Amino acid sequence: MVDERPSRAALRGNLPPLALHVPEPRFRPGDRVDYSWLDIPEAGALPRFDEACEARETWPATLGMIRVLDEEHRAVGGWDPRLEPETLRRMLHTMALTRAFDDRMYRGQRQGKTSFYMKCTGEEAISVACAYALAGDDMVFPSYRQQGILIARGFPLVEMVNQIYSNRADRLKGRQLPIMYSARDYGFFTISGNLATQLPQAVGWAMASAIKGDTRIATGFVGEGSSAEGDFHAAMTFAAVYNAPVVLNVVNNQWAISSFSGFAGAERSTFAARAAGYGIAGLRVDGNDALAVYAATRWAANRARANQGPTLIEHFTYRAEGHSTSDDPAAYRSAHEREEWPLGDPVMRLARHLIQLGEWDDARHAAMDREVAEEVKAAAKEAEKNGVLGHGFHHPFHTMFEDVFEELPWNLREQAEQAIRERVTKWPERAGGNDGKGNTGGAA
C-alpha cells in the first residue's frame, strides 16, 4: 500500500516557523509612562440602552466605556444617574472611610498587629457605588477588594478589625486569613481565597433565588486576572442558559499581583466583550467614576430584577498600591503608572463633582478626612482591647478543630491532642495558665 500522506518536508514548504506571542507589559520599573495609546472615550458619549433591550444591543458598551463625569467634573450624558447631592455626599463619605480604614490597617500590619492586609486604593468607587446601587439585601459574592461594600452596608468597623487581628472577638475565630470577612446578615458571602469561585456561586445563588420565587438578585466579583479561570466561563454559561438574575463584575485593575492584564486576554479584547459570546448583556465602565459605576450597576440590577437576564460589567480601573502587604510592586512595574493613570482618583473625582455643583468645598473635605480617620482609629483601639496578632487574646487553640463536624471524628480528635501536646512541648513558657487545651489566655 502506498503511503499518500505528505512528507514532513513537504509540509514545511516555505511556511514561516510557528511562533507564540508572550505578552509583555509596556512599562517596567524606571520606565517613563505614556498612556496615549489607551483609548478613553469621552464622558457622556455612549447612549443609555433600555433596560429591557436585547443583550446584543449592548455590544457598543462592551468596547466603549460608560463615563458620566467629564473633564470639568460635570455629570453628562444619558447614563447620569441624577442622584441627590445628599446621596453623593454619603457615597463620598463611604469611599473616604474605606480609604481611611485601608490606611490604618496597612499601618497595623507594618506594626505587627496582623500578618496580612489588602488595600483597595483607587478602586473605592467600584464597591461603594455598587453597594449604593443594589438593594441592601441583594446577595454579594465578593473577592478580597470589596471591603467598601461591607462598609457601605454598615458592618461595624470594629468587627472587621477583630477579624484582621484574629483576636478573641473575631467571629471567625481566627480561621480565615485576615480580611476574609464573612457577614451573612449583611448579604456578604464569606470571602474565599479560591479566586473566581465567586462567580459560579453568585449564579447558583441567583438561580436558587429564582427557583424559590424570591425577589433578591445576586452579584459576584472577580479581578481581571481571575477571569482567566475556568470558573468564569462556567458561571457565564449557567447565567446565560438559565437567564439567572445576576450581575457579574470583572474588576480590571490592570494587574494580577505581578502579572499584567495581557496574560488574562486584555491585548485581544475587552473583558466586557466576552458577554457577547454568551449572549448576555455587557457593559464596560470607567471604574474611577462613581456615577458611572452606580448607573451601570443600577441598570444591570433593574434588568436582573425584571427577569431580563444577567449582565457582565467590566470596571476599568488601576490598582494604585501593591497587591497586598506581602507584595512590592516596585519590583515589576513603573512607579509612574499611578500618577499617569488617565482616569484619576475616584474619591477626588466625586469630590470635585460635588464642589462643581456648589455642594462641597475643600474645608468640608478636610474635615471629613479628619473625621473618618478618627472613626477608624476609635474602632481599631476598641478592637485592640480584644488582642492583636501574637498577643494571646486569641481564640483557644483547640477551637481550630471544632465546629466542622457535629461530633469530632476520632482522627481529628487524635490530631488535636497531638497538636496540643506538641505546642506545650515546644513552648512550655506559654503553658502557664494553660487550660490544657492550648489556651494561654494571656500574653503569649
Ligand X SMILES: Cc1ncc(C[n+]2csc(CCOP(=O)(O)OP(=O)(O)O)c2C)c(N)n1
Binding positions for ligand X, rule: CB under 6 A: 145, 193-195, 222-226, 229, 251, 253, 255-257, 319, 323
* C-alpha closest to that of 138 among 123, 119, 153: 153
Give Cβ neighbours of residue 249 (< 8 Å, ≥ 6 apart). Answer: 126, 130, 219, 220, 221, 222, 312, 313, 314, 315
Residues of this chain, 208-237, that bind Mg ion according to CB under 5 A: 223-225
**433 contact, one of ligand X, Mg ion, none, CB 5-8 Å limit per kind:** none
Minimum distance between the CB of residue 4 and ligand X, rounded to whole angstroms? Answer: 47
Residue closer to ligand X by CB (options 140, 388) is 140
CA distances 158 to 238, 274, 378, Å, are 38, 40, 8
End-to-end Cα distance, the chain: 83
The CB-of-72 to ligand X minimum distance in angstroms stands at 31
User: How far apart are CB 192 and ligand X at their closest, in Å?
Assistant: 9
Q: Which of 129, 106, 243, 235 is nearest to 179 (CA)?
A: 106
Give me the residues paired with residue 218 across strands: 139, 246
Minimum distance of ligand X from residue 193's CB (angstroms): 5
Q: Is 271 exposed, middle or buried (0-12, 13-18, 19+ CB in 10 A)?
A: buried
Q: Nearer to ligand X by C-beta: 169 or 312?
A: 312
At 346, list the grid cell.
475616584
Following DSSP, what letter does each residue of 210-257 receive, concatenated? Answer: HHTT----EEEEEETTGGGSHHHHHHHHHHHHHT-SEEEEEEE-SEET
Q: Report the site for Mg ion in 147-166 (rule: CB under 5 A).
A: none
Amino acid of residue 434: N
Specify the residue, 189 or 255, whose C-beta has the smaller distance to ligand X.
Answer: 255
User: Residue 2 burial by CB count (10 A; 0-12/13-18/19+): exposed, middle or buried?
Assistant: exposed
> Smaller CB distance to ligand X: residue 102 or 224?
224
195 near Mg ion, judged by CB under 5 A: no
Decide: helix, strand or coil at residue 68: coil
Q: How far apart are CB 317 and Mg ion at their closest, in Å? A: 9
What does 387 interact with, of Mg ion, ligand X, none (CB < 5 to 8 A by kind)? none
- The residue among 205 and 221 lying less far from ligand X, judged by its C-beta, is 221
Q: Which does 425 bind (CB under 5 to 8 A by kind): Mg ion, ligand X, none?
A: none
Distance, in Å, from the CA atom of 153 to the CA atom of 229, rounded to the nearest integer, reads 29
The one of ligand X, Mg ion, none whose footprint includes residue 308, by CB under 5 to 8 A per kind, is: none
CB of 123 to ligand X, least distance (A): 8
Identify what 322 binds: Mg ion, ligand X, none; CB under 5 to 8 Å per kind.
none
Choose between 88 and 222: whose C-beta lies nearer to ligand X.
222
The distance of closest approach from Cβ of residue 224 to Mg ion in the complex, given in angstroms and rounded to an integer, is: 5
Q: Which is nearer to ligand X, 223 or 438 (CB)?
A: 223
Residues contacting residue 324 through CB under 8 Å, at least 6 positions apart: 116, 117, 118
**Size of residue set near Mg ion by CB under 5 A:** 5
Across the beta sheet with 139-141, the strand order is: 139-141, 218-223, 246-252, 311-316, 281-286
| Minimum distance of ligand X from residue 253's CB (angstroms) | 5
Q: Between β-strands 255-256 and 259-260, what pairing exists: parallel, antiparallel or unpaired?
A: antiparallel
Task: Scan residues 333-362 and list those touching Mg ion (CB under 5 A).
Answer: none
Interface positions, 252-311, toward Mg ion (CB under 5 A) = 253, 256
Residue 317: Cβ within 10 Å count: 26
22: its cell numbers:
508572550
257 binds, among ligand X, Mg ion, none (CB under 5 to 8 A by kind): ligand X
Among Mg ion, ligand X, none, what binds residue 226 when CB lies within 5 to 8 Å by partner kind? ligand X
Closest distance to ligand X from the beta carbon of 51 (Å): 28
Which position's Cβ is nearest Mg ion? 223
Candidates 164, 368, 333, 355; CA nearest to 260 is 333
User: Residue of minimal CB distance from ligand X?
Assistant: 223
Q: Which is nearer to ligand X, 114 or 261 (CB)?
A: 261
Closest CB to ligand X among residues 253, 308: 253
Residues that bind Mg ion (CB under 5 A): 223-225, 253, 256
